[in-house]
Amino acid sequence: MSKKSKSNKNNKKIQSIKNKLVNGELIKNEDALYINNPDYFLTFSDLEISDGIDIIENIMVLSDNYISFNRENDDEPLNDVELMEITEEYKDNNEIDGGYIAQSFDKIDFISNTYEDITVITVISNDLEVQDFYNELKVVNSWKGFENAKVDFGQIILLNHAFSPKLLIQLYKVATKQKAKFFESLHLPAHINHILNNDDFLAIASNLPEETLDQDYIMEIGLDITNMEYEDDDIDLDEFIERIEDAVVISCEDALEKIDLNIGILDYLVSEGIQIGDMIEVGMSLLENMEETDELKERLEKQLLKSISDKNINVLLIAAIRLEEDLQKGRVREINLNEKLVHFYPDELIGATIANQIAGTKALLNFRRYAKEKPGILYGLGPVLSNTFAGLIAGCMTKLLEE
């Protein structure tokens, strides 16, 4: 397959934005984002084009669209050799000098945060959006569908110090662990967590010691990174690690805010496999002396959504989901679900509270019946969620039949 014609692409004026950094300059256009430092970076990274430890002038991130446009055959998986060729061509076309490390990335939106001597550039690729659903209820969705969607946060951490390779590797590990801990602490719904940071990256870069930039020094000594004069002993390492951790977390928080990714009760219901239609089926299955009609189903759907919109019920549902997860994963030392637990009924309390909140004490009778018989989707849920949603459905059905 012949290479696509790029004459129009190369000849057109591509508008770039430039940000001055404490140790370099960040340039971004529609094709790429890169950081240039003519005085060199010493880096440790997991980028696709990298030797792990590198002395380079450019940290480059090329968009997947640009790479796809410039490939010989985009039906085959991209390999490192091909990415290197495309990166070299991009450098030539944009008159970028010097060595580089490089990464392909779906999108190249970014935020840049500087904390004194630490700059964190977070590159964002996001296929999700928060959509209106009903009244104040919203749901996270993707035009790609969740099977093909992804959310990735790549990070480039620039340190305005001359640190040794050994210390850079240590700080890389710190940043990697802190980023993972941050996203784990969010307790995102499983279907969102599944597509999160599967194609992310991390590069950490510091300056070279000043004497190594002297040409006479380079001619006499060479660039022997093992014997350079580093600043490792000039910092309080514990304090600096704490600041790296804070910088990573704040940058991740700002990145989430930029893409407006916030999670609500409907997202947790999707994650648990609980659909509104499933709850309607449960409600209809226990009808007595009444015909099941489309009108009744529509009314029940509206009542379910109205009840879920109630902030008190919303909080109880979230609490039940978290409690179920903690119990199932053995996070509560004193409770073992494999043992027979006498007088353990928080699940019943939550379900009864929800039923009562929606339709008063009359709903409790229906709640006990639903909780006992566990029709439809209730049968497949864990003990906490089964009784919780029995309470929700019982309350909504009772409210409906009273009208």
**Model confidence over 127-172: pLDDT tens digits?**
999 999 998 899 999 999 999 999 999 999 999 999 999 999 999 9
As annotated, the residues of the chain forming the CATH 1.10.3760.10 domain(s) are: 272-402
Residue 7 has pLDDT above 50, yes or no: no
Give how far the C-alpha of residue 168 lies from the chain's centroid of Cα atoms, to the nearest Å. Answer: 25
Confidence of residue 345 (pLDDT cuts 50, 70, 90): low
The Cα–Cα gap between 19 and 35 comes to 9
Cβ–Cβ under 8 Å, residues 83 and 101: no
What's the pLDDT band for 6 if we cut at 50, 70, 90?
very low
What is the per-residue burial (b if ≥16 Cβ within 10 Å, else e) of 252-265?
beebbeebebebbb
The 10 Å CB-count burial string (b at 16+, else e) for 298-331 is ebbbebbbbbbeeeebbebbeebbebbbebeeee
| Residue 220, pLDDT score | 46
C-alpha dist (Å) from residue 403 to 140, 184, 327, 369, 390: 33, 44, 38, 21, 20
Is the pLDDT score of 363 beyond 80? yes
Three-state secondary-structure class, residue 76: coil
Task: Give the global pTM.
Answer: 0.86
Q: How far is Cα 112 from Cα 117, in angstroms, rounded to an integer?
A: 13
| Separation between Cα atoms, residue 341 and residue 309, nearest integer Å | 33
Q: Kind of pairing, strands 53-63 and 100-105?
A: parallel
In 3D space, the residue among 34, 26, 155 whose CA is nearest the CA of residue 93 turns out to be 34
pLDDT at 215 over 60: no
Rounded distance between C-alpha atoms, residue 387 and residue 19, angstroms: 55
User: Which CATH number is 272-402's, of 1.10.3760.10, 3.40.50.150, 1.10.3720.10, 3.40.50.970?
Assistant: 1.10.3760.10
Which secondary structure element, helix H or strand E, spans residue 153, and what is its range? strand 151-159
Q: Are 153 and 124 in contact (CB under 8 A)?
A: yes
Q: In angstroms, rounded to a whole number, what is the distance separating the alpha carbons of residues 346 and 38? A: 63
Those residues whose C-beta lies under 8 Å from the C-beta of residue 350, and which sit 6 or more positions away, are 316, 319, 320, 323, 384, 387, 388, 391
Mean pLDDT of the chain: 89
One-letter amino acid of 243: R
pLDDT at 211: 66
What is the pLDDT at residue 212? Answer: 62
Comparing 190-194, 279-283, 338-342, the range with the smallest average pLDDT is: 338-342
Structure tokens at 137: 């209820």
